[in-house]
Chain A
């Protein structure tokens, strides 16, 4: 079975500092996609970043970047220069190309301290 694990229920970061959110996954597929979604208090799920498993280069979107370690099945999210607006729940998700479904982790609540 495919699983996604986020072992940090909650994290805090000082404004302007850097924080890394952890995600590990398990899949038997060779071709898959990984995502980080942000869910602010409004509950709207917002795509932060996506990574194709066949690409060795880590994805980057402005202040957000990932550390994708395929052999270790690890997919962490780094947020640089944290801003108050980054405070949210962050969900890691694995796209199952066999069933076309997302498998979500349990989420990490990020608090940004002023």
Chain B
């Protein structure tokens, strides 16, 4: 149980275009989903937290107009990188938790490698 999928696993796009990454919880309903960014050989950096039906909460320094997050249902959250630039190239990982309780385990998707040319 507790499987999270991400699509696509890899994407290459041209500078200036937008890219959408989907994160789905396959066998549970995720009240809260998280989006992380991971640079090579580094730890995960939390970008934003999204709760179903409400606006995402962005971490300091993350541009909300550039990284659009939508959590339309209890099983789906999307991250759209708008007007992508080469510096947005990175590994993006989502995670999902059943609910924002005091004991929540996060289950991670397999990640999406974004390359902006």
Contacts and interface: CB of A to CB of B under 8 A. Distances in A.
Contacts of B34: 101-102
Contact of B102 (A44, A47, A50, A97): A97
Given A44-B111, A45-B95, A101-B49, A106 B103 contact: no
A70 to B, nearest CB: 16
Nearest to B97: A100
Contacts of B49: 100-101
Interface stretch (B21-29, B38-46, B69-77, B79-87): B38-46
Interface residues on A, range: 20 to 34
B103 A52 contact: yes
22 contacts: A31-B102, A33-B103, A43-B111, A44-B110, A45-B108, A46-B108, A47-B107, A91-B43, A91-B44, A95-B103, A97-B103, A100-B97, A100-B100, A100-B104, A101-B34, A101-B46, A101-B49, A102-B44, A102-B46, A104-B43, A105-B43, A106-B42
Interface string A9-29: 000000000000000000000
B115 to A, nearest CB: 14
Nearest to A91: B43
B89 interface: no
B110 A42 contact: yes
Contacts, number: 50
A37 B105 CA distance: 11
A82 B19 CA distance: 40
B93 A45 contact: yes
